[in-house]
Amino acid sequence: MSELIMTIFFLILSVLIGGFLVVFLEKKNQAKFIKLSLAFSGGFLLAIAFIHFLPELYAEQHTSIGVWVLVGFLVQLFLEYFSGGIEHGHIHAHANKKIPYGLLISLSIHSFIEGIPLANTDLHAHDHDHLIGHHHDSLLLGIILHQLPVAIALMTLLRKSLIKSSTSWILLIVFGLMTPLGLIFGTLIPMDSSIPFMDILLALVVGMFLHISTTIIFETNENHRFNLAKLTAILLGVGLSVGLI
């Protein structure tokens, strides 16, 4: 139970830190900070997908697991139709004081899904019935590293939309609760079922990670140049993932 509470605490904290950073960096170059932090998280997400999760998903399950990875990739593609790509730093704000419900619902669905596989926290590396416990810390860190810049982008969009500050914080907190709610929902999934629900859900999340990370990495800046700062951030993210092996 204590591990569950700590996981929820860090998930919510990452989103709140993102909101506070927007307030403190309001007159700074937020766009550059968001892009570099997303590049770092993109490198990390891509690396943990290939190094940690995909090899063990295929080792534990039949090759049909790739279908679920592809489904996750397509689900994220569909969700970004409504979110406008805020997951990888695209902020399309309009000063109309309207709450972007489509964007918030899309982000909430994404966050809820990626929180479900975190539920399997009581397993150890020697338990091969479910592989999530083996790399729980990698998955949690990947989610946190991505939630932070997304929270910054979301809060920036809400403030630029001239939505009241109190409303912006309420919406940010609602977004921050989605991954913990997914985690809590995951605790209700039976682990002794003949259907490997958790591995399938992890495959979905990996597919979503692959879409987000590749979009972040392969996006160029305005003059279509891949700058050194972004490359360095990506390599640092990959290096962090390799260090967790």
DSSP 159-204: HHTT--HHHHHHHHHHHHHHHHHHHHHHTTS-TT-SS-HHHHHHHH
The per-residue pLDDT for range 176-226, each reduced to its tens digit, is 999 999 999 998 887 766 678 888 899 999 999 999 999 888 875 555 566
- Give the model's confidence band at 170: pLDDT under 50 very low, under 70 low, under 90 confident, else very high: very high
Report residue 122 as tokens: 């009581």
The pLDDT, as a whole number, for residue 123 is 38
Pick the closest to residue 116 from 225, 216, 197, 42 (CA basis): 197
Report residue 27 as tokens: 């007159």
The pLDDT, as a whole number, for residue 125 is 39
User: Per the structure, how many domains does the chain have?
Assistant: 1
Give strand ranges (E) for the chain.
none
Report residue 93 as tokens: 């704000």
Radius of gyration in angstroms for the set of CA atoms belonging to the chain, rounded to a whole number: 18
Return all residues near 193 (Cβ < 8 A) that are at least 6 apart. none
Least confident of 93-97, 98-102, 168-172: 93-97
Instruction: Give just the sign of the alpha carbon dihedral 73, 79, 83, 84.
Output: positive
Rounded to whole angstroms, how far apart are CA atoms 138 and 70?
Answer: 21
The per-residue pLDDT for range 11-58, each reduced to its tens digit, is 999 999 999 988 887 666 667 777 888 889 989 999 999 988 898 888
Report residue 50 as tokens: 């290939």
- Give the model's confidence band at 10: pLDDT under 50 very low, under 70 low, under 90 confident, else very high: very high
Rounded to whole angstroms, how far apart are CA atoms 179 and 112?
Answer: 5
Q: Supply the range of the domain harboring residue 129.
A: 2-243
| Residue scoring higher pLDDT (2 or 179) | 179
Rounded to whole angstroms, how far apart are CA atoms 158 and 153?
Answer: 9
The per-residue pLDDT for range 54-79, each reduced to its tens digit, is 988 888 766 688 999 999 999 999 99
The per-residue pLDDT for range 102-159, each reduced to its tens digit, is 999 999 999 999 999 998 744 333 344 445 555 678 899 999 999 998 998 899 888 8
